[in-house]
Amino acid sequence: MESILKVENLEIKYHTRQATLSAVHKANFEIIKGQIVGLVGESGCGKSTIASAIMRLLPPNGEITQGKLLFKGTDLLGLSEDEMRHRRGQDISMIFQDPMTSLNPVFNIEEQMVDAILAHRSRNQSKSRSEAREQAISMLNRVGIPDAASHIRNFPHQFSGGMRQRIMIATALQTNPSLLIADEPTSALDVTLEAQITDLIRKLRDDLQTSILYITHDLGIVAELCDQVVVFYAGNVVENGEIHQVFNSPLHPYTRALLLSHPSNKNKTVRLTTIKGRVPSLKDLPVGCKFAPRCDLAESICFEQEPVQTNVNSHFVLCHAYAQNWQGKAAETYLNSSNNYQPTKEKTPQRLLVSESEQTVQTKDLKVHFKDSIGFLGKLIGEKQGLVRAVDGVDVEVFHGESLALVGESGSGKTTLGRTILRLEKPTSGDVLINGQEITHTSQKDIRHLRVGMQMIFQDPISSLSPRKTVSQLLLEPFKIHKIRVDSDKKVDELLEMVGLSSEQADKYPHQLSGGQARRVGIARALALKPSLMIADEPTAGLDVSVAAGILNLMKDLQDEFGLTYILITHNLNIINFIADRVAVMYLGKLVEIGETETLFSHPRHPYTEALMSAVAIPDPSLRDKRKRIMLEGEIPSPRNPPSGCPFHPRCRYKEELCTRVPPKLESFQNSTQWAACHFQDQIGRESELLNH
Amino acid sequence: MLVYVVKRFFMTILVLLLVITFLSLLVHIVPGDPASAILGPRATPALIQKVRSAMDLDKPFYYQVGNMVLNLLHGSLGTDIITGQPISRFVFSVLPHTLILAITSLSLAVLIGIPMGVFSATHPDSWMDHLMAIISISFTTIPSYVAGLFLLLIFAVQLHTLPAMGLGKAGDTIDYIRHLILPSIALAITWIGYLARLVRTSLLEVLNEPYVRTSRSEGLSEGLIRYKYALKNALIPTIAVLGVGLGSLMGGAVFIEIIFSRPGMGLLIYNAIQIRNYPMVRSGVLIVSFLFILTNFIADLIYTFLDPRIQLNKGQS
Amino acid sequence: MQYIEKPVHPFNRILDHVPILGDVIRQPLGAIGFIIVLAFIICVIFAPLIAPYDYSRQDIPNRLAGPSAQYWLGTDHIGRDIFSRLVYGSRIAFGTALPSVAIALTIGTLLGLIAGYLGNKVDNIIVVLMDSLQAFPSIMLSLAILALLGPSLVNVIIVIGLTWMPNYARVIRAQTLSIREKTYIESERSIGATDGSILLSHILPNVIAPALLLAAMDLPWVITFEAGLSFLGMGVRPPTPSWGVILSDGYAHIFESQWPIIWSGVTLALTTLGFTLFGEALRDVLDPRVSGTRGL
């Protein structure tokens, strides 16, 4: 086994005006030829710092103070800047998180790719520009850019996000480097694209035998893709081992908690594990074990001494509990008794789906179309006015006390549908009924009064709070607006307690809160007026797994306590099993399938649902070979000019001639509660049924 | 792309019309009578009336606007009340001198300011960067008329090395250029400082963009990254500013032309103001504003042409 | 990236700004700027105490004298003390700059808020009007208006206020447009807040800070602008000691004495420099993303 990169005792410090911060401490791991090593950890733990350090591209205030970076036996830290420059792009390449900003916007692809090849001209003998161009085109073809030769002169903005990430990969791999560093390459992409890209990366690794350091916060992707896992926490490698070992028998309490807090494959009866406290800031790292303050096993030694790395069957862990003289509880017992979720009220989801059950929300042929504003002059010179059919004829019912998840790729219209139900957007046609009352034509003034009963939790936790108001001002504002007299201090404390925050938070401003805290304030504010309907737009987006787990638990508790009806808008399919009773799948403004969550997962009746569900990366490496994933080709078309007939037909593997002409109706599958809009719904999912059982 | 150009063109025309309207309207909304101002306190009412009607002041303002637009379409700016000559003759005899002055100054600013900015941005926090910072801040804060007066004092009054007043001997190109040196430097100083700072900030910002990090990770040489990949991104927004620059230099030329007794639009307007010749002031201001709007429009088009992202209608992948 | 701002509590509003000033002074250039601005403000407040002579006192026998113990900076063409005139001139500079910037800020903010929040037709109309006003080179527009109004301090203030106003309208409009799209505005709407309360208590507080900063940065430009107009004889009229008037008097006698031009020119340039350095240091403290070096 040839070692490609060996990180030895790496120590990275940042110098700031106030202090010197330790970003990475005594990091050790190794990448073997052809292996994919996953580097996981929550935000701010130093993952990206490691990547920059390997490239020797740390920001000016960052310094590698100790350790070695042995690349095929040569210490990269000993190279001159010029020697190092020739390693970059030639021997070690890198791809980044956001494909939108990682390509230079004012040069075409050819220019950028060819320059990247010619930068290493001295070693590539004397390669001409046209030879380099050929090399670039063949690599673009390889990563799945259709007709690369004629598109290579295009500028980055002319490609979609998924295509740009492919171009990034092509640029990184065209020189056939030995090591590829991928820094969260799919975090900015939809789940179907994520599956495409991870699949592409794996295939390229198989073909080219490139070693890959894959940096991510997503345990699902690690399980799908990696051979080795390095778990990072607060600048320390806390666990490092073979993928199955780490996922099946995690050693470090942090890894255990992280895996248990993941919502995927958890059903409604359990509670997610949460980790108390939050990731420490580099400014005040704890002495001793960095995880000790959040660890239930911690003994006094954990707070005083740094743990040393212990080797358990070539599975490394950084924890005092594995030392010889450990006297506390065995680490294996940590979180072993999975705490089962006890609903406060008996809940029978089945009953809710019976038609006579009360509807909280009903939409009738709801359409929301956006016209481009082209103005008077545009009309004068005959500019074509584009039309975006964001929501295009949706009938959906949400029953009292249930949770409906609204899923789909970005651009599917799910958020617009949610906003229109709350009349934050005015429908173009069709009706919205809330508790049987039609609100489509209600005046703005009357809508304001109705808002007491229906609330929204917005996507970005911090920016959905007015920045110059304190938490207590924000929480009291609903009462002020609706002229309800309350005992201010008591009410604020009560609301904060309800969402699990202490009253110390009352005087803080939004930017002083963490993402999770801000999310909780948003929920408290939405709940202040005791609404019956709550729409949550991506409630866990941007939050680390352990924080998100707390939010999901809270949402479930609140539903039980207040009998809330939830509509959850999300592209994170991992959470829906845990929180949703039913799922509605949207594609290009239309509802393509709706049904109970479990049925939808196990027996999808629409090819889009089928592909969507199979694209979810599940944090269980044992599934990766058993489960056959259905790769959805291409990307969601522009809602400006949707395909004729069934909007999904260009990406559908069951497509027949009929689909290109006739749009299918939403029909019940064998008179069950599952409805799908597909001409061939009885044929869908036969093979996946076989595979899943 | 075409749609954008057409829209931008219509907007330019609309703004131009509003500028004309505004200039005509001024006489009506501002207290005082320009006719009696020209003629002085001893003019007879009949004479005042005559001048008023010659200036169209007795007609409603929309008539004046229409009249002015019609005249403009015929290439005329009306007749000067005092000399009875067409105003356009005065304007076009001095306009080239102002244009030459403004363009020379802008070229100086580009040739000196941009390299200064690039050097500072590529050597951040070096002592040269700090020196450049002090020079460029001082340059931006010296008003052009102070710069002009100081240059006049040093080179013309004290050292007698360069001529200061007027345009030079007619027909003598070398002498014309010698007379251009001090005024154009005086006018350029602010813009040298401004461009240096603008380019520095813009390039530093670009050098922190993710795509520059990508280029570094590809192993491109620092020279290629700075002077090819980053610089183009940093200079594109500068182009749009240059359009504004040319216009504002023409406006600022008024001080320089007065200080150096240099015939031009500024001096023409200033002299007209001294004798309260309002129609002449109005025409002069209109022409300068027109050029200002035009250069902005052209700079915008160049900008659109240079930035591939704006060509939205070209083939999508 | 977000505009980083200290929270402002009614009680410790003043206290909260002391650290900002501290951060400004800690930068070398900011400190120089602060000293100059401070000196300027002391001149404005204590002019009669600082100036050794009255600004209009004539000493004809000593006209156009160079610097001496009697007249520190020399005298002008009718024997007035240049130093005293410069000290009193700061009052004119400040007295024009402050009200004109205040006018521009107030009207501009109002128009910008209306345009940005209402959008559509109202926005189009305001934008075209502002564009037209900005289509004049500012000095030309001011000259055209002053040619009709006649030169006077009040007219100069009005004209500067008018020519500078579109800038503020633009900045505020752009800010309003971007904040209008922020999630927290929709969040306010979703709990039932009215347009009026959204505009006043959630948009205005967030757009006003950049406009105030712009106003601070504009002060030096307005000072040179006023001096320029006065230099052309279109601003403050003699014998009021505007720096521009002193410069203009000096220009008329440039071959006899250079001192009036040198001192008034240096005063103008230094004042502008001071305000600019101070303003930029202030901006760097309040909005660190443009500053050259980056922290972690």
Q: Say if the Cβ atoms of C191 and A451 lie within 8 Å.
A: yes
Mutation for testing the A interface, residue in C123, C128, C183, C194 having most A CBs under 10 Å: C183
Is the CB of B26 inside 8 Å of chain C's CB atoms?
yes
* Domain A354-369+389-692, second-level architecture: 3-Layer(aba) Sandwich (3.40)
A567 has a pLDDT exceeding 90:
yes
pLDDT digits over C73-115, tens only? 888 877 788 898 888 988 988 889 999 999 999 999 999 999 9
pLDDT in tens, A334-352: 665 444 444 444 444 444 4
pLDDT band at residue C249 under the 50/70/90 scheme: confident
* CA C267 vs CA B254, C66, C223, C242: distances in Å: 22, 17, 11, 12
Query: In angstroms, what CA-CA distances link A425 with A326, A368, A428, A431, B285?
Result: 60, 8, 9, 12, 48
What residues of chain A lie within 8 A of the CB of B229, using their CB?
104, 107
- Count the Cβ atoms, other than its own, within 10 Å of residue C255: 8
Would you call B5 exposed, middle or buried from its count of C-beta atoms within 10 A (0-12, 13-18, 19+)? middle
Q: What percent of chain B has pLDDT over 90?
A: 32
pLDDT band at C2 (very low <50, low <70, confident <90, very high): very low
pTM exceeding 0.80: yes
Across A263-277, A400-414, A457-471, A600-614, least confident range: A263-277
Residues of C in contact with B30 (CB under 8 A): 145, 148-149
- The answer on pLDDT for A54 being more than 90 is yes
Rounded Cα distance between A560 and A346, Å, is: 9
pLDDT of residue A357: 61
Chain C: closest CA distance from residue B270 (Å): 8
Query: C191 and A455: CB-CB below 8 Å?
Result: yes
Nearest CA-CA distance, residue A62 and chain C, Å? 8
Residues B138, C269: C-beta atoms closer than 8 Å: yes
- Nearest neighbour of B15 by CB, restricted to C128, C144, C292: C128
Share of chain A above pLDDT 90, in %: 36
Domain B94-316 has CATH 1.10.3720.10: yes
Average pLDDT of the residues in A307-319:
88
AA identity, residue C254: I
Write the pLDDT tens digit of every residue in A81-121.
Answer: 999 998 999 999 999 888 888 999 999 999 999 999 988 87
Say if residue C8's pLDDT is above 50. no
Closest CA to A212 of A233, A197, A193: A197
Q: Which of A255-259, B58-62, B109-113, C216-220 has the lowest average pLDDT? A: B58-62
pLDDT of the residue at C212: 86
Decide if pLDDT at B317 tops 70: no
pLDDT mean across residues, chain A? 86
Instruction: Determine, for residues C192 and A460 on separate chains, whether the beta-carbon distance falls below 8 Å.
Output: no
Task: Tell the residue number behind the tokens 């000559």, with chain if given.
Answer: B85
Chain A contacts to B (CB-CB under 8 A)? 55, 57, 85-90, 93-94, 96, 98, 101-108, 112, 115-116, 119-120, 151, 154-155, 157-160, 163, 168, 171-172, 375, 377-378, 380-381, 383
pLDDT interval class at A685 (50, 70, 90): low
Q: Where exactly are the structural domains of chain A?
A: 102-176, 250-341, 354-369+389-692
Question: Using DSSP, how many helices (H) and how many strands (E) does chain B show?
Answer: 13, 0
Q: For A268-306, how does the pLDDT look when each residue is reduced to its tens digit (9 = 90+)?
A: 677 788 888 778 888 888 888 999 988 888 888 889 888
The kind and range of the H/E element at A433 are: strand A429-434
The tens digit of pLDDT for each residue in C270-294 reads 999 999 898 888 887 776 544 333 2
CA A532 to chain C, closest CA, distance in angstroms equals: 14
pLDDT band at residue A421 using 50, 70 and 90 as cut-offs:
very high
Q: Where does the pLDDT of residue C14 fall: very low under 50, low under 70, confident under 90, or very high at 90 and above?
A: very low
Contact C194 A525 (CB under 8 A): no
- Other CB atoms within a 10 A radius of the CB of residue A449 amount to 11
Structure tokens that stand for B259 in this block:
């200080």
Range picked from A240-244, A344-348, A527-531 for highest mean pLDDT = A240-244
CB atoms within 10 A of CB A85: 20
Closest residue by Cα to residue B294 from B88, B27, B102: B102
Task: With CB atoms and an 8 Å threshold, state whether A456 touches C296.
Answer: no
- Residue B245 has a pLDDT of 85
CB contact under 8 A, B124 and C140: no
Q: Is A283 on the interface with C (CB under 8 A)?
A: no
Contacts of C295 in chain A (CB under 8 A): 16-17, 61
Mutate to test the interface with C, among B123, B141, B249, B274 (most CBs of C within 10 A): B141
Strands A582-587 and A3-15: unpaired
Closest partner residue to B285 among C136, C150, C265, by Cβ?
C136
Q: Which chains touch B (3 or more CB pairs under 8 A)?
A: A, C
**Over the stretch C197-237, which tens digit does the pLDDT of each residue have?**
898 888 988 888 888 888 888 899 899 999 999 898 888 87
Mutate to test the interface with C, among B130, B158, B285, B291 (most CBs of C within 10 A): B285
In chain C, the domains with their CATH numbers are 10-291 (1.10.3720.10)
pLDDT in the model for residue A377: 62
Of B217, B228, B307, the CB nearest to A89: B217
Token pair for C179? 């904040």
Q: Is the pLDDT of residue B241 over 70?
A: yes
Percent of residues, chain A, with pLDDT higher than 70: 92
pLDDT band of residue B275 (cuts 50, 70, 90) is confident
In chain C, which among 256-295 make CB contacts under 8 A with chain B? 258, 261-262, 265, 268-269, 272-273, 276-277, 280, 290, 292-294
* Token couple for A168: 């990034």
The ipTM (two decimal places) reads: 0.83
Is the Cβ of C212 closer than 8 Å to some Cβ of chain B? no
Taking the C-alpha atoms of residue A183 and residue A213, their distance in angstroms, rounded to an integer, is 8
Whether pLDDT at A384 is above 80: no
C chain contacts of residue B258, beta-carbon cutoff 8 Å? 232
pLDDT at A641: 82
Whether A545 shows a pLDDT value over 90: the answer reads: no
- Give the β-pairing of A667-668 and A675-676: antiparallel
Distance between B65 CA and the closest CA of chain C, angstroms: 15
What distance in Å separates the CA atoms of residue A67 and residue C87, rounded to the nearest whole number? Answer: 64
Beta carbons of A16 and C205 less than 8 Å apart: no
- Interchain contact A455–C (C-beta under 8 A): yes
Tokens linked to C142:
């001011």
User: Is residue C217 less than 8 Å (CB to CB) from chain B?
Assistant: no
Residue given tokens 């007794």 in the structure block: B261
Look up tokens 């936790």; give the residue: A461
Q: Burial level of A331, CB count in 10 A (0-12/13-18/19+)?
A: buried
Under the banding of pLDDT at 50, 70 and 90, the label for residue A265 is: low
Mean pLDDT of A45-73: 91
Q: What is the pLDDT of residue A687?
A: 58
Q: What is the pLDDT of residue A447?
A: 87
Residue C220 to residue B254, Cβ atoms within 8 A: no
Q: Is B150 in Cβ contact with C148 (below 8 Å)?
A: no
* Contact between B317 and A115 using a beta-carbon 8 Å cutoff: no
A468 contacts C190? CB cut-off 8 A: no
Closest-CA residue of A relative to B233 is A106
Q: Does C124 touch chain B (CB under 8 A)?
A: no
Asked if A451 has any chain C CB less than 8 Å from its own CB, the reply is: yes
Q: Please give, rounded to a whole number of angstroms, the shortest distance from the CA of A471 to a CA of chain B.
A: 34
CA C78, C83, C84, C88 torsion-angle sign: positive
What per-residue confidence (pLDDT) applies to A474? 93
Nearest-CA residue of chain A relative to B304? Answer: A106
pLDDT at A275: 83
User: From the CA of C85, how many Å to the nearest CA of chain A?
Assistant: 46
- Assess A30–C contact: CB distance below 8 Å, yes or no: no
* B251·C138 Cβ contact <8 A: yes
Counting every residue written for chain A, the total comes to 693
> Phi/psi zone of residue B125: left (φ > 0), alpha (ψ -120 to 50 degrees), beta?
left
Chain B within 8 Å of C50 (Cβ-Cβ)?
A: no
- Whether C230 and chain B come into contact, CB under 8 Å, resolves to no
Among chain C residues, the shortest Cα distance to A526 is held by C191
**Inter-chain touch B288–C147, beta carbons under 8 Å:** no
Model confidence pLDDT, tens digit, residues A594-648: 999 888 888 888 999 988 888 888 888 888 877 777 888 888 888 888 888 899 9
What was the pLDDT predicted at C50?
A: 86
**What integer pLDDT is reported at residue A688 of this predicted model?**
52
Q: Which residue of A has its CA nearest to C183?
A: A464
Pairing between strand A590-596 and A675-676?
Answer: antiparallel
Do residue B31 and residue C149 have CB atoms under 8 angstroms apart? Answer: yes
Conformation bin of residue C290: beta by default, left when phi > 0, alpha when psi is -120 to 50: alpha
Among A125-129, A514-518, A680-684, the range with the most confident prediction by mean pLDDT is: A514-518
Contact residues for A571 (Cβ-Cβ < 8 A; gap 6+): A190, A191, A407, A408, A409, A410, A538
Question: What CA–CA distance (Å, rounded) separates A167 from B211?
Answer: 13
